[in-house]
A and B are shown apart, each in its own frame.
Chain A
Amino acid sequence: MSFSVGLLLIPYGIAVILFLIFALLNVYHLIAYGATTKVSFLFTFVFLAGSSFIAYASWLYLKDIDWSAQIMFQLMQAGAFEGF
């Protein structure tokens, strides 16, 4: 039995999409509830800069991975623990 390493990208993609949705909701709240001040702009900028940095660092660490590599699973055989 085998599966591709690329399958790991599915839960990661879901986490990233949820991150984007919640990030946009936060920005929406700041705008909708009248908190468009210098402080809120500063924090939004810091948040966007930090997010970009994390995305870039992630890309650096993940770019060399072979996502098409197959991982083999070996089911445990009966008697594998014999002798213990």
Chain B
Amino acid sequence: MRIEELIHKKPDEKVVFYLRRHTIIFIGGMLLIALMAAIPLAALYGALTYYPQVFERELIGPALKLAASAYYLWVWLFFFSNFVDYYLDAWVVTNDRILNVEQKGLFNRVVSELDMSKIQDVTSEVKGVLPFVFGYGNVFIQTAAEKERFVFEQIPKPEEVRKRLLLLVEEDRRRQGEVLLAMGHET
């Protein structure tokens, strides 16, 4: 099953596109994990150079080996958690609404929904050196309600997404206008 299939679609509703954060965000997390994995190796090199008997000591030797084993298991778990966190955060855009599916850590999950007809303004933003170089940024969706803006964070090609969203909003308004017109003719 794909993430967009989790939505209980309304009749005539179809998924137009879905988004995740830019891959570079995931790769950035991976680089941090690679650094975490490299630090003990550097320490090991230093220890073996200046104090080669360290692993022969009856208490320190086993303690270091156990600590290294637990450390690498946890670093590896962070790698997997980083992937799960990246992969389960998604924005699904249908011709009728936008769904924000967000995984916050292992125990919190937020799913919010925004109707296309409520969208008033869509703003894209590419701010900073890395977003500029890798072409990612934020898209802010302002609604008529006073509640906070809907934000697509660190998504690829934010300007293109903004244009597509505005087209969908226009299309939704036209469709709703046609429905209202048809209802007016019936009565």
Contacts and interface: CB of A to CB of B under 8 A. Distances in A.
Interface of A: 5, 8-9, 11-12, 15-16, 19, 22-23, 25-26, 29-30, 33-37, 39-40, 43-44, 47, 50-51, 54-55, 57-58, 61-62, 65, 67, 69, 71
Given A33-B3, A34-B5, A37-B2, A54 B106 contact: no
9 contacts: A8-B62, A9-B66, A15-B70, A19-B73, A35-B88, A40-B87, A43-B80, A47-B83, A62-B66
A19 B84 CA distance: 15
Nearest to A58: B69
Interface of B: 1-3, 5-6, 58-59, 61-63, 65-66, 68-70, 72-74, 76-77, 79-81, 83-84, 87-88, 101, 103, 106, 109
A51 B84 contact: no
Contacts, number: 92
A57 B73 CA distance: 11
User: Which are the 4 A-B pairs with shortest beta-carbon distances?
Assistant: A58-B69, A15-B70, A47-B80, A34-B6
Given A22-B106, A54-B73, A58-B69, A33 B88 contact: yes
B106 to A, nearest CB: 5
B73 A15 contact: yes
Majority DSSP secondary structure for residues of B touching A: helix
Contacts of B80: 23, 26, 43-44, 47
B88 A30 contact: yes
Contacts of A9: 66
A61 B73 contact: no
Contact of B87 (A22, A25, A30, A57): A30
Given A26-B84, A36-B1, 12 more contacts: A5-B58, A5-B62, A8-B66, A12-B70, A15-B73, A15-B74, A19-B73, A25-B106, A50-B79, A54-B76, A57-B69, A65-B62
B87 A71 contact: no
Contacts of A37: 2
Contact of A16 (B2, B3, B70): B70
Contacts of A69: 58
